[in-house]
């Protein structure tokens, strides 16, 4: 596990050229990043790697690319990884490819990510990957009141997400991080601001940003293949929040 000391800027730059991030789809290069001692020098606050890698079930609606997960695992070098909402299995595929011990759970197999009892015997994790279903977008578990996507209101969605964040916080090992990937949408003509609501919920649970928010470009999204008659600004990204536990925060499970 890397510490803040090992990741901070070193007196001497690392040898060799710094690999560059891929350009945008129109050929525009991304801003040049400073040279650091990072083991993943192309991992910056903008994640634009195209494709998804050989990870996850492509048929699973909303399944994200595994390339960001791959980069985060290479950067943080976790000993154990948890995904409490694994859906199409992307995170598990990445961990198996990199030889990282992994625990994956999902509501479809009876794991309620909002219930702290379901985490009691899982142990500790150096990295928790969390990509929850978004409110009112895809109904992953129709009729199941435990599913975040089916919450009656956006406030109820945020309340359930906050409970999930609390549970994930309580299984983080010392120095571990929680990586939350979340996008946004509109309801009744208004943008919901889900990343901002999620960050507020995380802060209320003693989780604070451990890195800049990562803007992840959504290559090949379903909406990109559609034509719309209305005029609006398309959203082409989601946001990954890297969160670390405040040592002073209360903790339910210890051991």
Which residue has tokens 């048929």? 59
What is the CATH T-level fold of the domain 36-210+240-245, as seen in this structure?
Answer: Rossmann fold (3.40.50)
Identify the residue with better confidence: 141 or 110: 110
| pLDDT band at residue 58 under the 50/70/90 scheme | confident
Please report the sign of the dihedral spanned by the C-alpha atoms of residue 128, residue 133, residue 182, residue 18. positive
For residue 171, pLDDT beyond 50: yes
Pick from 51, 24, 76, 34: which is nearest to 244 by CA?
76
In the chain, domain spans: 36-210+240-245
Query: Contact, 59 vs 87, CB < 8 A?
Result: no
Number of C-beta neighbours around residue 199 at 10 A? 20
pLDDT, position 130:
97
> How buried is 120 (Cβ within 10 angstroms: 0-12 exposed, 13-18 middle, 19+ buried)?
middle
| pLDDT band at residue 101 under the 50/70/90 scheme | very high
- E strands, 86-205, are 102-104, 125-130, 172-182, 186-187, 190-191
Identify the residue with better confidence: 125 or 54: 125
**Structure-token pair, residue 100:** 């990282």
In Å, how far are 12, 13, 19, 103, 174 from 16, measured between CA atoms?
12, 9, 9, 37, 33
For residue 225, pLDDT beyond 60: no
Task: Tell me what the mean pLDDT of segment 226-236 comes to.
Answer: 69
For residue 254, pLDDT beyond 50: no
Number of helical (H) and strand (E) elements in the chain, helices listed first: 5, 10
Pick the most confident of 56-70, 97-111, 128-142: 97-111
Pick from 194, 176, 179: which is nearest to 129 by CA?
179
For residue 68, pLDDT beyond 60: yes
DSSP 8-state class, residue 107: G
């Amino acid at each position: 596990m890397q510490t803040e000391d090992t990741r901070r800027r070193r007196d001497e730059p690392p040898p060799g050229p710094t690999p560059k991030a891929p350009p945008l789809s129109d050929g525009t290069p991304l801003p040049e990043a400073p040279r650091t001692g990072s083991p993943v020098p192309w991992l910056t606050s903008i994640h634009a790697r195209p494709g998804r890698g050989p990870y996850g079930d492509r048929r699973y609606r909303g399944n994200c690319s595994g390339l960001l997960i791959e980069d985060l695992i290479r950067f943080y070098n976790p000993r154990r990884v948890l995904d409490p909402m694994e859906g199409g299995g992307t995170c598990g595929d990445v961990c198996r490819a990199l030889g990282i011990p992994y625990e994956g759970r999902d509501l479809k197999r009876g794991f309620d990510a909002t219930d702290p009892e379901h985490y009691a015997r899982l142990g500790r994790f150096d990295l928790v990957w969390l990509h929850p279903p978004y409110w009112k977008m895809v109904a992953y578990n129709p009729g199941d009141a435990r599913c975040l996507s089916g919450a009656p209101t956006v406030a109820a969605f945020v309340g359930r997400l906050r409970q999930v964040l609390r549970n994930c916080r309580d299984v983080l090992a010392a120095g571990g991080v929680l990586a939350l990937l979340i996008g946004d949408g509109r309801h009744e003509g208004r943008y919901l601001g889900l990343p901002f609501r999620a960050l507020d919920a995380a802060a209320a649970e003693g989780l604070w940003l451990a890195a800049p928010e990562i803007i992840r470009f959504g290559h090949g999204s379903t909406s990109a293949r559609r034509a719309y008659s209305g005029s609006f600004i398309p959203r082409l990204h989601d946001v990954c929040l890297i969160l670390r536990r405040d040592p002073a925060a209360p903790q339910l499970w210890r051991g």
